[in-house]
Amino acid sequence: MNMEYGFLIFLFALFLIAWMGVKIVPQQQAWIIERLGKYNKTLEPGLTLIIPFIDKVAYKHSLKERAVDVHEQAAITQDNVTLLLDGVVYLKIINPVDASYGVENPYYAVVQLAQTSMRSAIGKIHMDKTFEERETLNTHIVHAINEAASTWGIQCMRYEIKDIKPPTNVVKAMEMQVAAERQKRADILESEGKKQAQINIAEANKQEVVLASEAATIDQINRANGEGEAIQTIANATAQGIEKVAQAIQANGGKEAVALRIAEQYINAFGSLAKESNAVIIPANTNDASGMIAQALTIFNNISNKITENKS
């Protein structure tokens, strides 16, 4: 009976030892195996056998990318302004052996390095530039971490500044500066608007004067053209009338008609003089109407003869 118990105990011990030698490594993990206290191998994901009591799992590393908070810290800028900054760093184990034996705690070491690198980078720029140079600061910190942690088996994938807190008095000064800048832009825009309005008014007045002068010029031209056309029309009408009179004179009985017309106008002229003035100069032979008509016809004939001589 005791032998049966002993055999069972022996089988259980063998099973326990075998179970202790079977290791199942999860995906995206790497286990460091030490044999008798010395590094032996790195277990890949899957089922693996080790020698119990001789081999042991010394370190277990996750190969996933890990986000680690960088706690708030104080940093002094080049112009002696104290800022409070915090951030987040993204890390990944790329060499499990170096991460196990190169540094005691790789994540803690990288966080401390990120803080010192941040303070060093902030000290090289002015406070006003810290908000504009976030990308440059992030890139600089990543480069500094990877350069220093090259033997730690860990790589910094990226670094992001989460918040930058200037002192209260600096914040108030910045707000006043922003308000003054906005007021300055508003004043400039207002002055530009007034300037443009005055320019527009001046241009409108100028155009009004130009248009008025052009209208006056056109009016004068139109009046002159109208007067010229009127004079031309009168001249044409007069010429046509004279031509018709001349034709009428050359016709049969024309001279007698002219003589009759002259006698009528001669007599009417004396009648008009008597109406307009008290003093009237009259010919001596006023009773001799035929003599007066003959005298007028003589004058007409003399003029006609001179015209004929000039034409010949």
* Per-residue pLDDT tens over the stretch 145-194: 998 888 899 999 999 988 888 877 776 776 777 778 888 888 888 888 88
230 CB neighbour count, 10 Å cutoff? 10
Report whether pLDDT(19) > 60: no
Q: Comparing 13-27, 96-110, 221-235, which segment has the lowest mean pLDDT? A: 13-27
Instruction: Decide: 99 and 106 in contact? Cβ < 8 Å.
Output: yes
CA dihedral 238, 299, 263, 271 (to 10 degrees): 90
82 contact partners, CB below 8 Å, separation of at least 6: 74, 75, 76, 167
pLDDT above 70 covers what percent of the chain?
Answer: 70
pLDDT at 91 over 90: yes
Q: Give the amino acid at 281.
A: I
What does pTM read for this prediction? 0.52
Average pLDDT, the chain: 79
Q: Output the DSSP codes for 25-67.
A: EPTTEEEEEEETTEEEEEEPSEEEE--TTTEEEEEEEE-S-EE
Candidate ranges 109-113, 233-237, 240-244; pick with highest mean pLDDT: 109-113
259 or 206: which leads in pLDDT = 206
